[in-house]
Amino acid sequence: MVFRNRILIFTYRLSATLVGIFTLVAAFNLDAVETASWNSIRYLGTEITLYATIILLIETILSIKGLRKSNKSGVPATFGQVLFMSVGLEMALAIGHPFYFLFINIGNSNLVYFSQERLLIQLLMYIVFPLVVFLDWLFFSEKGNWKWHWLIYFGSVPVYYAGFSFLNHYIRTSTTFGTLIFDYRTFVNQGIMGQLGGWAGVIIASLSMFALYLGVAALLLFFSFLLSGKYARKNSPSSSEL
């Protein structure tokens, strides 16, 4: 089911874009340091939120043009690949964050999932905005037009971020890793995770999160085909007779 009311689409996407912008402003303000006001960009959540906000902004602009057309025409949308990346990354970020917390919390009972200092950012970045992005796709985007091989493009994002995070840490030597599962010190003296001086934990946690992100994206692809009715048509008696 896709809602085709142009005014509703424009209103929702404009509101969603503003939520994304507010989330980014809050994140950059909280994480700014004297030497780098853009410090928050080193976090995966910030980069994914920035990407999804840009996609929503583009869709909002397309929706403005769509206001001149009838509700029966196609819903204004970006290219399928970039939309898939946006929705998939936001859902993976939301679902993966609790697992990420479990990894970095190994042996450290003092860590709090929702810290008071970062409560607003965590609620917006890991719950509210991912839900906003998902609902935009669910209600206003065509289903069943994504491709399974796009998982290859999706998998390149965690690989890129790993390289970016290591480079950021070793170039800006005064900063910690943006993602603590890349820091061997997170896992030192933590059983099997502490093997190889903590690097075993880095490898296990990184590969686990990579698999989780791909798994979420694959489920989203399957859900898209399911909603489109493609699987139902393939399994129907009439389709098998043809």
pLDDT tens-digit map of 154-172 = 999 999 999 998 888 888 7
Q: Are 168 and 188 in contact (CB under 8 A)?
A: no
pLDDT band at residue 109 using 50, 70 and 90 as cut-offs: low
The pair of three-digit structure tokens given for residue 96, joined into one six-digit string: 């993966």
Q: How far apart are the first and last CA of the chain?
A: 26
E strand or H helix at 135, and its extent? Answer: helix 129-140
What pLDDT is recorded for position 111?
A: 64
Residues 6 or more apart in contact with residue 216 via CB below 8 angstroms: 88, 91, 92, 95, 96
In terms of average pLDDT, the best of 34-43, 201-210, 230-239 is 201-210
Residue 174 confidence (pLDDT) above 90: no
What pLDDT is recorded for position 169?
A: 82
Residue 239 confidence (pLDDT) above 50: no
